[in-house]
Chain A
Amino acid sequence: MSPIISVQHLYKRFKILQRRPGLGGALVNLLSPRYSEVSAVQDVSFELEEGEVVGYLGPNGAGKSTTIKVLTGLLVPTSGEVHINGKVPWLERERYVREIGAIFGYRSTLWWDLPVIDSLELLQPMYRIPAERFRSNLREFSRLLDLDSFLNTPVRSLSLGQRMRADLCAALIHEPRLLFLDEPTIGLDVIAKEHIRQFILHVNRQRGVTVLLTTHDLADVERLCERVMILDRGRLLFDGSLTMLNHRFESTWTLHVDFEVEYEDVSLPGMDPPVRQGLHAEYHFDHRQVTSAELITRLLEKFRIRDLEVRRPPLEETIRRIYREKLLIN
Chain B
Amino acid sequence: MRLFLHLIKLSILEQATYRTALVAGLVTNFFWGFFRAAVIVALYNGRSEVNGLTLEGALTYIAIGQAMIAFLSLFGTFDLMTTVYSGSIASDLIRPVPLFVLWMARDLGHSLVNLVVRGLLLLLFFALFYPVVMPESLLGWVWTILALAASWLVSYAWRFLVNLAAFWTPDARGIGRGAYALSQLASGFIIPLRLYPEWFSRLCHLTPFPAMFNTGVEVYLGVVSGSQLGWALGVQGMWFIVLVFLSQIILRAGIRKLVIQGG
Contact = CB atoms under 8 A, between A and B. Distances in A.
Interface of A: 14, 17, 65, 69, 72-76, 93-95, 97-98, 100, 102, 104-109, 111, 113-114, 118-119, 121-122, 125-127, 154, 182-183
Interface in B212-255: 255
Interface residues of B, number: 27
Contact of A74 (B2, B18, B93): B93
A104 B170 contact: no
A249 B160 CA distance: 53
B121 to A, nearest CB: 22
Given A75-B260, A102-B94, 7 more contacts: A74-B93, A74-B258, A94-B96, A111-B14, A122-B3, A122-B10, A126-B6
A93 B260 CA distance: 15
B3 A98 contact: no
B145 interface: no
Nearest to A126: B3
A65 B263 contact: yes
B87 interface: yes
Contacts of B197: none
Contact of B94 (A14, A109, A125): A109
Contacts of A94: 96-98
B7 A122 contact: yes
B46 interface: no
B17 interface: yes
Nearest to A110: B91
Contact of B170 (A17, A97, A109): A17
Contacts of B256: 76
Contact of A106 (B3, B95, B262): B262
Contact of B87 (A72, A73, A107): A107
Nearest to A121: B6
Given A69-B260, A113-B17, A93 B93 contact: yes
A72 B94 contact: yes
A126 B263 contact: no
A306 to B, nearest CB: 51
Contacts of B260: 69, 74-75
Given A69-B90, A75-B260, A126 B95 contact: yes
Given A114-B14, A125-B6, A107 B96 contact: no
Nearest to A154: B17
B91 A76 contact: no
Contacts of A76: 255-256, 258
Interface string B108-137: 000000000000000000000000000000
A127 B13 contact: no
Contacts of A75: 258-260
B2 A125 contact: yes
B95 A97 contact: yes
A109 B91 contact: yes
A104 B10 CA distance: 23
Contacts of B13: 114, 118
Q: Which 5 A-B pairs have the closest CB atoms?
A: A125-B3, A109-B91, A125-B2, A65-B263, A98-B96
A73 B14 CA distance: 28
B88 interface: yes
Contacts of B10: 111, 114, 118-119, 122
A208 B6 CA distance: 31
A119 B13 CA distance: 12
Contacts of A17: 170
A129 B262 CA distance: 32
B95 A14 contact: no
A75 B256 CA distance: 7
Nearest to B2: A125
Given A14-B259, A17-B170, A125-B3, A74 B14 contact: no
Interface in B7-22: 7, 10, 13-14, 17-18
Given A113-B14, A125-B6, A104 B96 contact: no
Among A65, A72, A75, A182, the one with the most B-chain Cβ atoms within 10 Å of its Cβ is A75
Given A104-B91, A114-B14, A118-B13, A95 B96 contact: yes
